[in-house]
Amino acid sequence: MLWEVDVICRDAASDHAARELVAGAQALGVAACTASRTAAGWLLEGDLDRPAVEHIAATLLADSVTETFRVGVVGDATLTAATDGLATVVHVLPKAGVTDPAGLSAGESLALLGHPGVTVRSLKKYWVPLDPDAAAAMARRLVANEAIHDVVVGPLAIHSLAGGGAWTFASETVRLADLDDTGLEKLSRDRCLALTVAELHAVRDHFQSLGRDPFEIELETIAQTWSEHCCHKTLTSPVDHEGPAGRVRYSNLLKETVFASTVKVRAALGASDWCVSVFRDNSGVVRFDGDHDICVKVETHNHPSAIEPYGGAATGLGGVIRDVLGTGLSAKPIANLDVFCVAPLDTPTESLPRGVIPPRRLLAGVVAGVRDYGNRMGIPTIAGTVAFDPGYLGNPLVFCGTVGVMPRGAADSAVVPGDLVVVAGGRTGRDGIHGATFSSIELSSESETESGGAVQIGHAIHEKTLTDFVLEAARQNLFHAMTDCGAGGLSSAVGEMAATLGADVDLDRVPLKYAGLSATEAWISEAQERMVLAVPSESWDKLAAVAAAEGVEATAIGRFTGSGRLVLRWEGQTAGELDCHFLHEGRPRRILTSRSSAVVDREAAWRPVGLTDALQAVLALPDVASKEWIIRQYDHEVQGCSVTKPLLGPGGGPADGTVIRGVLGRDRGVVIGVGLRHRLGRLDPYHMAAGSIVEAISNAVAAGADPDRIALLDNFCWGDTRSPETLGPLVEACLACHDMAIAFAAPFVSGKDSLNNVFALTDASGTSHELSIPPTLLATALGQVPDVRRAISPDLKRSGSRLAIVGLSRPTTAGSQLELTGSVTGGELPRVDAPACRAAVRAVAAAQRAGSVLACHDISDGGLLAAVAEMAIGGGIGVAINLTAVPFEADASLPATARDLAIAFGESPGRFLCEIPTGSDTAFAAAMNDVPWAIIGDVTATPVLEIIGTGERDRVTVADVATAWRTLSKEAG
Amino acid sequence: MLAPRALVLRAPGTNCDHETASAFERAGGIARRVHVRALAERPSTADDCQILCIPGGFSYGDDIASGRIFALELRTRLAEMLLRFRDRGGLVLGICNGFQVLLQTGLLLADPDGSRQATLAHNTSGRYIDRWVRLRCEGGPCVFLAGLTELELPVAHAEGRFVPRAESDLTALTAAGQLPLRYAVDATGGSTNPNGAVADVAGACDPTGRVFGLMPHPERFVSATQHPAWHGRLDPDSPGTGLALFANALRAVS
């Protein structure tokens, strides 16, 4: 019998879900939806009678003080009867097979009440004063996502939660031999393999040499392993590049640009090289202190998040946490960062292409996903940003990153022949099948229906127990190697670990969420929260005991052999057998061509405006505005190590780099800085990338990082790089990474690319076209603070201090925030003068070491005045600043009227503002040596900004600029 | 004499156990992290401890309601051990999720028949929030707050809104000094109540003052460098105000 329990707030005013639904409905213009009530519903199936269900409801499901409940058998009229006079009830429940964390937790805990083996599914119920069709339509717009939810109006028709029966072994052969190129192309598309015709030729030839066609499971394994997502085939391909500097042939783009710079930097460091493991493992590892190394990884989860923002972002974070956990012999995750690129929140809903989630709902969804996963994991989310551009409309970008700390020596790991293949953590279901290949295909308005299977819902608590288990097993030295199950599931995790040795895997032993999965499904499913470990037989019992103690399921599903072959079995029968060498080396290289043209400045056109008016307009722009409504939803203090938090000072101003102690109770710190100059992506890809890197480094150094210990990460997000005009800018960006790494002696230690960020749509007139994202590079700087007690924050500290600017300013208004306000269009591009930026960075670090810096802020989005305002907001005090004192260089062509605006809002990279305490001027000056700098103002007790320019003298209260800066956060929150 | 011992009880999803244990040690105690499964198998593990602390986190994911399943596990597997621990004079502290757990076990604010006098509901904002709050100590029997008048600590929760069963419960609990910790106003005079808690209640204790739960995180302010405005303002080597709470606990059992 299938029971239902509905849990309802006693007090309608506390029914948040109802409040939000009504607010959302009104915003949508569904005026009739003036009221709603909701219930948390639970479906229970098992050996239960009414008293038992009532006992469960009272002790487990409902709160006796604030909630009531009603119990019935699914179908009972009482369950769907009108509530508070609201006639229509809408059920929103997870589709069969979609992970249901609440249902799983409830089911597991019922054993404690003496009811083992009860299956539970959670659902939400909404009572509304609408007719059924309107109610269903509204639910789909506001509270349900058809990629993962069923929406049912009126009585539920379900009578059992039981899944299908077990799969019986059958191996499907895929005919390639007699397919022509069109046939191969169709096959790739129909099976969502994302393999090119050339690649399918290689597969066909390989199997012809074996005298047979491939089994489905073999073809799928190859597709996963060869996917862009798993092996970066574009960036590692040979490229014929035709750029402003002429023609160049790269035999391996990434290797000859980004990797090459790391090799050169490490060679220059010689004996003092502090890199430990770069571009090899799941994350990049560098030296930290005498006993520890630290590692970092940043991933993207763009396509899943476009379809299901909450689940996409949550599993994106879950995946990168496992990357760090699965580095070497495991690292403890100590910090998360998240960066989102979305379309402007005020994009009119009616202008949205079909299949596109409104930016506001999308951003709320990805924020909630990171919040619910990161907070449950107990990892502080301490860094990040949000960038806005119409180009991200159909294809938002979701970057999630994690920093970990590991004992020295734990970075090295190696599988030994004879080791058991052990899968630990969550069970395997159909969720996330084809995620790896799906992420390599462009999105379209059909993606939601076509690729819903690629969407996964995370279960953070399983990842938390998995983490506790892995760290304890590592402490006891119970395994030889480990990797996480991410894209491609077991097929790429086991495939990767067995790349040289080979393995025999018994897929029928993989623990399943529900019966019915085929061998192939179990092999390629991207079900979350799983790790694969290589465990020596003699350690198996101990490992199993640790797993049991932490409540984690660990199962031996095979052995690493040494045969060089990947053998897949089901109940003893061979389901597939692949040659590891072919699997990992057999992919044909394609030669790509790319083109990029010289970039020229556009003449600036000015529309004069008052300095303080412009300042308030700039501070209110979404890229610059406070992200407090997001930051406060993240636990940024758990683990107790946060030293420089995202919001600082009595006034809660913004941080540059954020700082945490690497180890609780020790004084050495980790700094995270991020740089994202997306507004330059379409204007000048080289300087977009260079500027992003300089911004990330500047953020870290402003916060107190040692400029000689900065590791870099690159995350490229690009459009369809099959087009030479799209690949060209990517080549330019790779060159920028190479040049910056060498200029700053800051090695890249890891990175990731996400290509094909394109949204294909058919407009009303029936013509189809593609929306491509702006070329985007997220640069992450992982720095180190020798002693966190000397960390520096941007908020102003004391009246009487002096304010200095470091670095040269130019009228760099192209792609600036000021341009978005309409006060200027075009102008000089903010090009990076690497030696000058490096000198400024080192001068600032020297001044900090000399104790002559009380506050430090790098100048980026919004330019000088925005940075000054942010420092004043944080400190809750004022500044009198003289723009005419700023070291500034401009062509004679710059009109005098524009001079103040150019100085105040230009975005030249490599500039800092420093608060110099009384009496430290000489020490500060000494640290500057030949870097251009000047004292430009005084810190004042009254919270007012006094601005003196050539043309005008202007003033505004800090309260007013703070209001402008916080407007978006207030309204979005 | 030997330093007092604190048992920091963790469950799947507990995530503040390390820093909480470290806070007890910083205050001069000895702390041991123990998994609830291990304690259920060997309740005697707690025999040499004077303090039992349930730290913050998302026990069992908090997917049904905060602390619900952890409390159910304690009630079904460790009820006797907990009562024995309390009755022999042991201190019990619940922080954030631990406070939610203590309320649901009936160790705090429950009638003799076990029916509950108050609960911790969803924040009025309907959202998780991480921010710093000012706190006022009301005096009374709570040994953890002995001698303290004001505290500044961070909160980080989605379900922290204190709701009494009835007005009469609020009156009675207040009179008995069982609601000793309240959200206070900040420098500008604005309330720092982050969740809409009735009567600004941030923490509650039993009539003896030896079982105490609070939503704010004292373990997150044991060092000045954990404060969001410490740079250039506080001595980085000075303690945070949260440390006093752990020191009080250790003193009470010494």
Closest CA to A86 of A24, A18, A188, A178: A18
Model confidence at A957: pLDDT above 70 = yes
Percent of chain A exceeding pLDDT 70 equals: 97
At A112 the pLDDT is 85
Model confidence at A770: pLDDT above 90 = no
Residue A640 with chain B: CB contacts under 8 Å: 16, 18-19, 22-23, 219-220, 222, 226
Chain centroid offset of residue B128 CA: 18
Percent of chain A exceeding pLDDT 90 equals: 76
Model confidence at A448: pLDDT above 70 = no
Q: Which of A164-178, A921-935, A942-956, B174-188 has the lowest mean pLDDT?
A: A164-178
Q: Summarize pLDDT for A383-407 with one digit per residue, the tens.
A: 999 999 999 998 999 999 999 999 9
pLDDT band, very low/low/confident/very high, at A526 (cuts 50, 70, 90): confident
pLDDT band, very low/low/confident/very high, at A766 (cuts 50, 70, 90): confident
Q: Using the beta-carbon criterion (under 8 Å), do A648 and B217 form an inter-chain contact?
A: no
At A834 the pLDDT is 98
Q: Summarize pLDDT for A190-207 with one digit per residue, the tens.
A: 888 889 899 999 999 999
What are the CA-CA distances from residue A388 to residues A211, A339, A345, A352 (Å)? 54, 11, 8, 16
Model confidence at A141: pLDDT above 90 = no
Mean of pLDDT values over B193-217: 97
A498 dihedral zone (left: phi>0; alpha: psi -120 to 50; beta): alpha
At A440 the pLDDT is 54
Q: How many CB atoms lie within 10 A of CB A895?
A: 10
- The answer to whether A813 touches A824, Cβ cutoff 8 Å, is yes
Task: Select from A551, A664, A795 the Cβ nearest to the Cβ of B12.
Answer: A551
Q: Which residue of B has its CA nearest to A548?
A: B37
Model confidence at A764: pLDDT above 90 = no
- The answer to whether B51 touches B93, Cβ cutoff 8 Å, is yes
Q: Which of A54-63, A162-171, A483-492, A776-785 has the lowest mean pLDDT?
A: A162-171
pLDDT band, very low/low/confident/very high, at A450 (cuts 50, 70, 90): very low
Q: How many CB atoms lie within 10 A of CB B89?
A: 11
- The answer to whether A129 touches A32, Cβ cutoff 8 Å, is yes
Q: Using the beta-carbon criterion (under 8 Å), do A105 and B232 form an inter-chain contact?
A: no
At A451 the pLDDT is 46
Q: Summarize pLDDT for A252-270 with one digit per residue, the tens.
A: 999 999 999 999 999 999 9
Q: Using the beta-carbon criterion (under 8 Å), do A19 and B63 form an inter-chain contact?
A: no
The verdict on ipTM greater than 0.95 is: yes
At A444 the pLDDT is 56
CA B60 to chain A, closest CA, distance in angstroms equals 6
Model confidence at A147: pLDDT above 80 = no
Tokens of A694: 């300089």
Task: Select from B16, B73, B118 the Cβ nearest to the Cβ of A378.
Answer: B16
Model confidence at A927: pLDDT above 50 = yes
Model confidence at A881: pLDDT above 90 = yes
CB contacts < 8 A, A to B, total 169
Q: Using the beta-carbon criterion (under 8 Å), do B63 and A106 form an inter-chain contact?
A: yes
A747 dihedral zone (left: phi>0; alpha: psi -120 to 50; beta): beta
At A488 the pLDDT is 86
Catalytic residues of B: 96, 217, 219
Catalytic residues of A: 229, 301
At A756 the pLDDT is 86
Mean of pLDDT values over A353-374: 92
* In the block, residue with structure tokens 């805990």: A109
How many residues appear in chain A? 973
Task: Select from B18, B126, B128 the Cβ nearest to the Cβ of A639.
Answer: B18
Mean of pLDDT values over A280-303: 94
Give the C-alpha separation, A348 to A365, whole Å.
18
pLDDT band, very low/low/confident/very high, at A239 (cuts 50, 70, 90): very high
Element (H, E) at A824: strand A824-827
- Give per-residue burial for A905-921: e unless 16+ CB within 10 Å, then b: bbbbbbbbbbbbbeebe
- The answer to whether A909 touches A809, Cβ cutoff 8 Å, is no
Q: Which residue of A has its CA nearest to B127?
A: A633
Mean of pLDDT values over B111-128: 93
Mean of pLDDT values over A180-198: 90
Residue A789 with chain B: CB contacts under 8 Å: 225, 236-237
DSSP class of A426: S
Q: Which residue of A has its CA nearest to B126?
A: A16
Task: Select from B64, B165, B225 the Cβ nearest to the Cβ of A105.
Answer: B64
Q: Using the beta-carbon criterion (under 8 Å), do A549 and B115 form an inter-chain contact?
A: no
Spatial strand order in the sheet of A802-806: A855-858, A912-916, A802-806, A933-940, A878-882, A944-948, A953-957
Mean pLDDT of chain B: 95
Q: Which of A454-458, A723-727, B191-195, B203-207 has the lowest mean pLDDT?
A: A454-458
Give the C-alpha separation, B155 to A633, whole Å.
11
Give the C-alpha separation, A30 to A25, whole Å.
5
Element (H, E) at A247: strand A246-250
pLDDT band, very low/low/confident/very high, at A880 (cuts 50, 70, 90): very high
Q: Using the beta-carbon criterion (under 8 Å), do A461 and B69 form an inter-chain contact?
A: no
Q: Summarize pLDDT for A644-701 with one digit per residue, the tens.
A: 999 999 999 999 999 999 999 999 999 999 999 999 999 999 999 999 999 999 999 9
Q: What angle do CA A454, A769, A438 make, to 5 degrees?
A: 15
pLDDT band, very low/low/confident/very high, at A434 (cuts 50, 70, 90): low
Burial degree of A828 (CB within 10 A; 0-12, 13-18, 19+): buried
The values of phi and psi at residue B227, to 5°, are: -80, 140
CA B44 to chain A, closest CA, distance in angstroms equals 17
Q: Summarize pLDDT for B128-164 with one digit per residue, the tens.
A: 999 999 999 999 999 999 999 999 999 999 999 999 9
- The answer to whether A794 touches A873, Cβ cutoff 8 Å, is no
Q: Using the beta-carbon criterion (under 8 Å), do B58 and A375 form an inter-chain contact?
A: yes
Mean pLDDT of chain A: 92
Model confidence at A848: pLDDT above 80 = yes
Chain centroid offset of residue B215 CA: 6
Q: What is the DSSP string of A526-548?
A: --SSEEEEEE-GGGHHHHHHHHH
Tokens of A747: 């090695």
Residue B225 with chain A: CB contacts under 8 Å: 643, 788-789, 791
Task: Select from B58, B119, B231 the Cβ nearest to the Cβ of A63.
Answer: B119
CA B214 to chain A, closest CA, distance in angstroms equals 16
At A121 the pLDDT is 93
What are the CA-CA distances from residue A433 to residues A118, A186, A453 (Å)? 27, 19, 6
- Angle separating helix axes A309-325 and A359-377, nearest 10 degrees: 40
Mean of pLDDT values over B213-231: 98
At A676 the pLDDT is 97
Model confidence at A888: pLDDT above 50 = yes
Q: Using the beta-carbon criterion (under 8 Å), do A105 and B163 form an inter-chain contact?
A: no
